[in-house]
Structure 1
Amino acid sequence: MGTHKAVVTTGIGDYDVLKYIDVPTPELRPGSVLIEVKSMGVNNTDINTRIGWYDQGEGEDDEEDKKGWNGKSSPFPLVQGTDAAGIIVQVGEGIEKYYIGKTVLIQSCTDNGWFGTDFDGGFQEKVVVPFSHCWTVNNTLTMEELGAIPCSYGTAESMLIRARITPGMQIMVPGASGGVAGAVIDLCARARNVNVVAIVGEGKKALLEEAYQGLPVTVREGRFGGEKWSKIVEEFKGCVDVVVDNVGGGGVMDILSCLKRGGSYVTSGAIAGAKVEIDMRTIYLNDLSILGSTKWADDCFPNLQRFINDSKIKPLITKVFKLQDIAEAQKAFLDKGAKVGKFVLTP
């Protein structure tokens, strides 16, 4: 079936392990489809897998054999990319030709593992995947916006399902300028009309207020350890039903203090630090629930498909890069300057 361009990650390492090369286009299998990829989001999980961040050992493992999120070694060389949106251009045996030309999102988390982590993903011009991993969409979002959805919004939606978000709740989102946090805000404030307290770093308050103008989003600016942070914690102490936190780090105890009795703290990441100290008394004396979320809920992607087709969500896009410039895109992604929203790649 010829070849196409892809970014292949050759192993654990810095940006030099990312190779933009020609790869064979896989043959179709029964029940699968060939997708021409139009856009792919940039996510923490792609970087974390590349640098071996998920390994929980004490350094005894060889640098080239760091374990992935599931405790197994990542199958390098690997086409990463947990996000992909595109057009079905060919269908395998058992799939109706009706679907040729349809716009689809590829589900990032499946029963077989993570797209772009456990098997080849979206950082390529074409990809063959089981049709059961594809979700057709039909709305006014751009391809770049669609490519920003699968991983961030899937992760966010699954956390919201686990935390049993309902109308009338107040949700707190630290690190609110990031991709997953932005998806949480969108899925709460726009799709569900749930009140959100969004905490952002210095210089980002006005950007976020403009982005969510007219929605039930209260924005506060401050970083852990600063005077503004202390004021935020004091303002919302004991007022929040659910905290959705992918930041972690030193601010966790402060964030827990903002929960009401019986509240929930749900997390699927720890970009500011994975190892934190927690006073267990805060948890049990306040009847708090601590929830982790990696494997997605069954309702996750059906919900997202419905929200997309009903125009209930709209991702924020910071900048679009070409696929061959992936190293530049990941560096920009890791720069925590005055920006909000997602970075996206296009072929």
Structure 2
Amino acid sequence: MTVDKIPKTMAGVVLTGHGGPDKLVYRNDLPVPRPGAGEVLMQVGATAINNTDINTRIGWYSKGVTTGTDAATSSGLASARHEDASWSGSPIAFPRIQGADCCGTIVAVGQGVDEGRIGERVLVRPMHAPSTTSRPYELVTFGSECDGGYAQYAVAPAHETFAVESSLTDAELASFPCAYSTAEGMLERAELKAGERVLITGASGGVGSAAVQLAKRRGAEVIAVCGEHKFDAVRALGADRLVARGTSLLEVVGADSVQVVVDLVAGPQWPELPELLCRGGRYVASGAIAGPLVELDVRTLYLKDLSLLGSTWQPRHVFENLIRYIERGEIRPQVAKTYALAEVHQAQQDFMTKQLAGKLVLTVAES
């Protein structure tokens, strides 16, 4: 596509504020962005639904919220405060185009970007470095602090768009960036090694199912916690043992029995997790869908020499490795259902029921 053939307007979904699904508005008159210096313009093929999309919309990141994400009503979370309801802790500028995941094709480039990149099929790294010289832990989240993939076109820094050579569809590729980079970042932070035993909570969700695959790729023994009706799907990803959600983990798995816990759930059952870890064990979190406030016996922490780790920011090589895993066929997509962009309300509603194992994807190009 040449620059003169790029349309002036596009279809997309804008988030107009924190609250219920009514805050997501589908429009077909949004201006197509133009790439600035160091940026590329992509025609979006597909974008996936993620917890971060829901959490941002309902305002769950606000410290005023102390409940799990399932406490959100049709009008969002009443205790959410606009001033701190984002990843960064700063107010989001509305309207905002969400969509942390993006698979697209580069159709135009800004100043300083090689025109030879036009035509590349790319994945966008969701956790941007603000610049090529950014320091560790500085980040901008695609679809939160800048516009994302819920539209027919999107711009991103050239250094954060990664060419991918794959026979997978756009929808399948769009299922990878956010969930799999989050999962790989967690395993990297916890330094999971071959032969170690890891327990993964929320193992049927996007990040959890990615963590199962990526942990098996590392040669670990995987204990997966999820709903019983999803056992077959999670077992097919490589889980060695399945534990039903809500079961006493101490009774079923046993104290001091795992080296690593990968937690996406937190909530009331959290106090069992440090007890599961052996001496010198590592706990890593990148989610708290069952509730962000937990009770910790600090004696368990120090007497067992445990490490408690948070994981959001990722070093660049995490995403570079992910691209290689995809191209070598070492991980496979888990797409449960696809939707047209205009069906974003239904897609997010289905996502929040947690009944489907795998990713829910918006196929943007066909919208």
Q: What TM-score do the two structures reach when normalised by structure 1?
A: 0.92
CA contact (8 A) 1:157 1:187 kept: yes
Q: CA deviation at 1:116?
A: 0.4
Q: How far does the alpha carbon of each residue in 1:110-164 deviate from its partner, in whole angstroms, 9 at most, with x for none?
A: 1231000001111001011111110111123221111011111111111111111
The answer to whether residue 199 in structure 2 is matched with residue 172 in structure 1 is: yes
Matches within 5 A, 1:51-66: 51-57=58-64, 64-66=82-84
Alignment match, 2:160 = 133
Amino acid at match of 1:97: E
Residues 1:58 and 1:177: Cα distance change in structure 2 (over 3 Å): closer
The offset of 1:233, in angstroms, is 4.1
Aligned to 2:73: none
Distance 1:207 1:165 in 2: 23
Could you tell me which amino acid in structure 1 is paired with residue 306 of structure 2?
Answer: L
Q: Aligned residues, how many?
A: 337
Q: Is the 8 A contact 1:161 1:297 kept in 2?
A: no
Match of 1:77 among 92, 95, 112: 95
Structure 1 counterpart SS, 2:179: helix
Question: What is the CA-CA distance between 1:206 and the residue it aligns to?
Answer: 2.1
Question: Residue 43 of structure 2: SS of its match in structure 1?
Answer: strand
Q: Distance in 2 between matches of 1:245 and 1:64?
A: 27
1:308 aligns with 2:315: no
Question: 2:363 and 2:91 mapped to 1: Cα distance?
Answer: 28
- 1:231 deviation in Å? 6.2
The question of whether the paired residues in 2 share the 8 Å contact of 1:104 and 1:135 is answered with yes
Q: Distance in 2 between matches of 1:40 and 1:58?
A: 28
Asked if 1:274 corresponds to 2:292, the answer is yes
CA distance in 1, matches of 2:80, 2:200: 36
Cα 1:61–1:223 change in 2 (3 A) is closer
Note the 1:24-39 alignment, pairs <5 A: 24-39=31-46
Deviation by residue 1:2-44 (Cα, 9 ceiling, x = unmatched): 0111100001110111111121011222221111111111001
Task: From the superposition, tell whether residues 297 and 265 of structure 1 become closer, same or farther in structure 2 (CA, over 3 Å).
Answer: same
Cα shift readout 1:150-186 (whole Å, capped 9, x = no counterpart): 1111111111111112212111101110001111111
Match for residue 134 of structure 2?
none
Matching of residue 186 in structure 1 with residue 203 in structure 2: no
Contact residue 176 and residue 182 of structure 1 kept, 8 A: yes
Whether the 8 Å contact between 1:6 and 1:124 is mirrored in structure 2 is yes
Q: How far apart in 2 are the matches of 1:294 and 1:202?
A: 29
Q: How much does 1:187 deviate?
A: 1.2
Partners of 2:157 and 2:11 in 1: CA distance? 21
Q: Taking structure 1 as reference, are residues 196 and 182 closer, same or farther at Cα in structure 2, changes over 3 Å only?
A: same
The yes-or-no answer on 1:20 pairing with 2:42 is: no
Partner of 2:230: 204
Task: Quote the residue 2:308 is aligned against.
Answer: 290
Partner of 1:250: 268
Of 113, 119, 142, the match for 2:146: 119
Give yes or no for contact 1:208–1:219 (8 Å, CA) kept in 2: no
% same residue: 41
User: Secondary structure in 1 aligned to 2:12?
Assistant: strand
Q: Which runs of 5+ in 1 are unaligned?
A: none
Amino acid aligned to 1:47: I
- State the shift of 1:230 in Å: 2.4
Is 1:344 aligned to 2:361, yes or no? Answer: yes
- Whether contact under 8 Å (2:285, 2:311) holds in the other structure is yes
Matched-pair contact (CA < 8 Å) for 1:12–1:64: yes
SS at match of 1:146: helix
Partner Cα distance (1:62, 1:248) in 2: 19
- Answer yes or no: is 1:45 the counterpart of 2:25: no
Unaligned runs of 5+ in 2: 1-6, 67-77, 131-139
Q: Is structure 2 residue 107 aligned with structure 1 residue 89?
A: yes
Residues 174-226 of structure 1, C-alpha deviations (whole Å, 9 max, x = no match):
1110001111111111x3232211111131112322x32xx4x22323222xx
For 2:230 and 2:79, locate their aligned partners in 1 and report how far apart those are by CA, in whole Å: 39
Give the match for residue 145 of structure 1.
172
Asked if structure 2 preserves the Cα contact closer than 8 Å seen for 1:186 and 1:313, the reply is: yes
Of the structure 1 ranges 49-58 and 108-117, higher mean CA displacement relative to structure 2 is found in 49-58
Taking only aligned residues, the RMSD between alpha carbons, in angstroms, comes to 1.9
**Counterpart for residue 13 of structure 2:** 7
